[in-house]
Amino acid sequence: MEKSYVQNRTRAHRMKRKRRRLLFIIIICIVLIIIKLFDIFSSKPQPVKTIEYAEKIESVSTDKLNNESKGSESSLQNVSGVEDAAFVEKYLNQQMQGQRPEGIDGKKVVYLSFDDGPSVTVTPKILDILKKENVKATFFVVGKAVEENEVTKKITKRLIKEGHAIGNHTYSHDYSYLYPNQTVNASIFMNDIEKTNQILKQVLGQDFSTRVIRFPGGHMTWQRNDPDGMEVLDKAFHDKDYHQIDWNVLPKDAEGAPKNAEQLISEFMRSMGNREKAVVLMHDTYGKEETAKALPGIISYLKKQGYEFKTIK
């Protein structure tokens, strides 16, 4: 009887040891499976990033095809440096009205822009500097300047070839004609815009178009002088998906007494301040050689401050 009791007890101990060993093996297996799964998921690319990358490539490819269909020879790198004109228009309007622009995001961006060209004397110098610095800009051209001669037409083609954006700055740039008696004539203004559009199509191809407009004297100026006339013109712009672009930084190369390059850089830095999004107004028409001389210093300052250069389309 005692022997049977001892045998049963020994058998029970063995069973307990076996269960412990089995439980230990199961726990080890579970731990190994968890480690393996962790390795698999941690090394697998995140689906969201994959989708974002695919969307980015698709966007770039689409823009490239659109540019090629319009005769543009811009590089893919420049595609990423393009800002929507609607965004810039809204940002500036809100800022000028004393509001906090919705587009504030902590990213420093600068949009270099040049008005009143092209000219055979200054525009090529500016283009040479921009090419050397690998910077793109937006040129608000005047229709009559574009069609002035074969050289200005070639310069206009060069703007597109080198990846710059073109905006419409009217055909005449004549204040007395566009703003008779200091009022806004929507019909006259739109006709002047469309005249430049047709000239640009003749020079750059029928597929070329631009949504970007700049008012001689600035939109905000005429908004104050003739709000009713501007309301009519703004509606006409909206119907055609045109976007007017003013500015919030300028070196004053067309204001006050003539300035040398050093003075222009000083004025630019004073106007620039600590702006997050800066639309810089400069000129590339005749007599603006000092602007071209100041441009390398302006670009150098912006690069040191960490600004990204973008065009407006």
Q: Is 241 a catalytic residue?
A: no
Catalytic residue among 164, 173, 243, 283: 283
Helix, strand, coil % in the chain, rounded to nearest 5: 60, 10, 30
What's the token pair of residue 301? 């300052």
CA distance 193 to 196: 5
Helix, strand or coil, per DSSP, at residue 82: strand
End-to-end CA distance of the chain: 101
Q: Is 283 a catalytic residue?
A: yes
CA distance 14 to 8: 10
Q: Quickly list DSSP for the chain.
A: -HHHHHHHHHHHHHHHHHHHHHHHHHHHHHHHHHHHHHHHHHHSPPHHHHHHHHHHHHHHHHHHHHHHHTT----HHHHTTEE-HHHHHHHHHHHHTT---TT--S--EEEEEEES---TTTHHHHHHHHHHHT---EEEE-HHHHTS-HHHHHHHHHHHHTT-EEEE--SS--HHHHSGGGS--HHHHHHHHHHHHHHHHHHH-TT----EE--TT-HHHHHHH-HHHHHHHHHHHHHTT-EE---SB---SSSSS---HHHHHHHHHHHHTT-SEEEEEEE-STT-HHHHHHHHHHHHHHHHTTPEE-EE-
Active site positions, annotated: 115, 283
